[in-house]
């Protein structure tokens, strides 16, 4: 039942640990490999938080400049992917402050228990066509920033709940609750588009 997730973030294999060791020792080729592995995910995370591709370009570069300078501070037990996304989030928060963007200006999603009335998706709903992708992005955009970040760390970047707690500075319980609510909100917003059966 184990599901391999294509497009998921690279896992921290022995290969990655070795690359990391070399990068820390000052090997630019190793750092480049790590950059090429992780930059697309970091960019996507920032694009989803900033909702602006050019701002995400800038923030991605800034994230890796900082990561490069802080590589020695990465603890052995920390996973590079989670660590980079943590830096990206800080860069995002800083950029938002400097642009004077108000926190949570977007409409707060209705946090309701809606599951009972959601349709069960049908197999054809699995295809993310352009229209659905647009709706998904729109639905993500309605989530409060922190909730969106936590959800994406899980469903896009595959971080374990414990690592999300560490990145967000939350308790494990809060992580679970926020992600659950974010999921319900997405489902509610997308269910109108689904062709599946309704209870």
Partner 1 sequence: MSACRENELDALLAGELSDEDAARVRAHAEGCAACRHALTWLRMERGWMAQRARRTPSRPALDFAALEARLAATAEPSVVPHRAPHESPWRGWRTMLMGAMATMACFGLGLVRSGPTTNAEEPWGAEVLVAASGEACEDAAAALEARVGACLIATPGLALRN
Q: Which 154-183 residues touch partner 1, going by CB under 8 A?
A: 154-156, 158, 160-161, 169, 171-174, 176-177, 179-181, 183
Residue 124 as a binder of partner 1 (CB under 8 A): the answer is no
Q: Which of 44, 8, 1 is CA-nearest to residue 160?
A: 8
Residue 83 as a binder of partner 1 (CB under 8 A): the answer is no
Q: Minimal distance in Å, beta carbon 15 to partner 1?
A: 18
Residue 3 as a binder of partner 1 (CB under 8 A): the answer is yes
The tally of CA atoms less than 13 A away on the side-chain side of residue 33 is 14
- The residue among 17 and 27 lying less far from partner 1, judged by its C-beta, is 27
Interface with partner 1 (CB under 8 A), residue from 10, 37, 61, 142: 61
Residue 40 as a binder of partner 1 (CB under 8 A): the answer is yes
Residue 133 as a binder of partner 1 (CB under 8 A): the answer is yes
């Amino acid at each position: 039942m184990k599901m391999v997730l294509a497009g998921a973030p690279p896992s921290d294999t022995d290969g990655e640990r070795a690359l990391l060791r070399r990068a820390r020792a000052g090997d630019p080729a190793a750092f480049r490999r790590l950059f090429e592995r992780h930059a697309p995910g970091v960019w996507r995370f920032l694009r989803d938080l900033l909702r602006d591709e050019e701002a995400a370009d800038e923030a991605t570069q800034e994230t890796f400049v900082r990561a490069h300078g802080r590589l020695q501070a990465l603890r052995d037990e920390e996973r590079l992917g989670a660590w980079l996304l943590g830096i990206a989030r800080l860069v995002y928060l800083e950029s938002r402050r400097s642009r004077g963007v108000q926190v949570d200006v977007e409409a707060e999603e209705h946090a309701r228990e809606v599951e009972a009335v959601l349709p069960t998706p049908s197999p054809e709903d699995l295809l993310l066509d352009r229209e659905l992708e647009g709706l998904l992005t729109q639905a993500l955009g309605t989530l409060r920033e922190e909730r969106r970040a936590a959800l994406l760390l899980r469903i896009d970047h595959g971080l374990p709940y414990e690592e999300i707690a560490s990145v967000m500075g939350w308790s494990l319980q809060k992580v679970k609750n926020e992600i659950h609510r974010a999921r319900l909100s997405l489902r509610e917003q997308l269910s109108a588009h689904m062709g599946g059966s309704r209870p």
